[in-house]
Amino acid sequence: MPKFTVNKVSISYEVYGTGKPIVLLHGGAVDFNYNYVQTGWIQTLTKKGFQVIGINFRGYGESDKSNDPDFYGTPNFSSDVINLIKHLKFTNVCLIGYSMGTVIALDLLNKHPEYFSKAVLMATGDGLIGIPPLILGNIISGFAKVFSYDSFPSQLPSHISAYWTFLNEVGLDRESMIAMSLGKYPPLTVQSAAEIEVPTLIISGELDLVLGKGHKVAQTLPQGEYLEIKDANHFELATDKKVHQSTIKFLIKD
């Protein structure tokens, strides 16, 4: 697995196929492989002429790790993505984010729009622009306690305890994930989101209890579109056929 190093931090990534480059940003407590490879996204995208670039955020996979919360957070994750794009000498890419990855994606679209032609943000909600109650920056610190349990926390709601399961199934470093949860992930302001001109598709699950639904985000973005998947929860969107099909349709349309 290739890596690149900037400011003494090494980040691992994967590349599949050839064609128009598209960068995939995974969610919290899962890595690129678990979020995208195992759920069929590589095949979905490469057979439609995309070159898939999957980053493992710091703390994940073979990327560098730390037990310091300041090592994580939106600014650091976003910088790693831009440095990967520069490392690969891309000037214009598509972008996909899932769950926590949508927070990083929206920050990138706001601060570095020149790199991106289109974006798809899935399993996300209006907390991206600070609309309560499901604002990632306010709730993610609670996952530090979830990750601290030695055994499955059956007393917690299933959409919360699922993250303990992910941590262990993926084989992530517990202390690194606790620190990651304590990083800073502020929402974008409505005013900043309203300045993003990159065409962006927001995909939410009707039954998403983690980050909710994002129709107000789509309404705020000048070129935003919204798709809600009936009866789908936060996790099911990764494998939902309509999500895969709608993403491709959005990315390849003129």
Mean pLDDT of the chain: 97
Predicted confidence (pLDDT) per residue in 156-177, tens digit: 999 999 999 999 999 999 999 9
| Cβ–Cβ under 8 Å, residues 197 and 186 | no
Alpha carbon distance 102, 128 (integer Å): 8
pTM reported for the whole predicted model: 0.97
Per-residue confidence band for 254, with pLDDT thresholds at 50, 70 and 90 = confident
- Residue 109 confidence class, pLDDT cut points 50, 70, 90: very high
Mean pLDDT of 49-62: 98
Percent of the chain residues past pLDDT 70, beyond the cut = 100
pLDDT of residue 103: 98
- Structural domain that includes position 55: 3-252
Q: How confident is the model at residue 9 (pLDDT cuts 50, 70, 90)?
A: very high
75 three-class SS: helix
What is the structure's pLDDT at 238? 98
Q: Is the model's pLDDT at 244 over the cut of 90?
A: yes
Give the pLDDT confidence of 111-151 residue by residue, as tens digits: 999 999 999 999 999 999 999 999 999 999 999 999 999 99
What 3-state DSSP class applies to 74? helix
pLDDT at 210: 97
The mean pLDDT of 40-55, rounded to a whole number, is 98
Q: Within a 10 A sphere around the Cβ of 76, how many other Cβ atoms?
A: 18
The pLDDT confidence band at residue 82, using thresholds 50, 70 and 90, is: very high
Among all chains, which residue has been given the structure tokens 């303990």? Answer: 164
Answer for the pair 165, 186: CB distance below 8 angstroms, yes or no: no
What are the pLDDT digits (tens) for 23-32? 999 999 999 9
Query: Structurally, how many domains does the chain consist of?
Result: 1
The per-residue pLDDT for range 85-108, each reduced to its tens digit, is 999 999 999 999 999 999 999 999
Q: What is the pLDDT of residue 1?
A: 83
Using alpha carbons, select from 176, 231, 172, 226 the residue that is nearest to residue 199.
226
Confidence class of residue 17 from pLDDT cuts 50, 70 and 90? very high
Cα separation, 172 vs 243, in Å, equals 27
Give the CATH number of the domain where residue 26 resides.
3.40.50.1820
Instruction: Check pLDDT > 90 for residue 76.
Output: yes
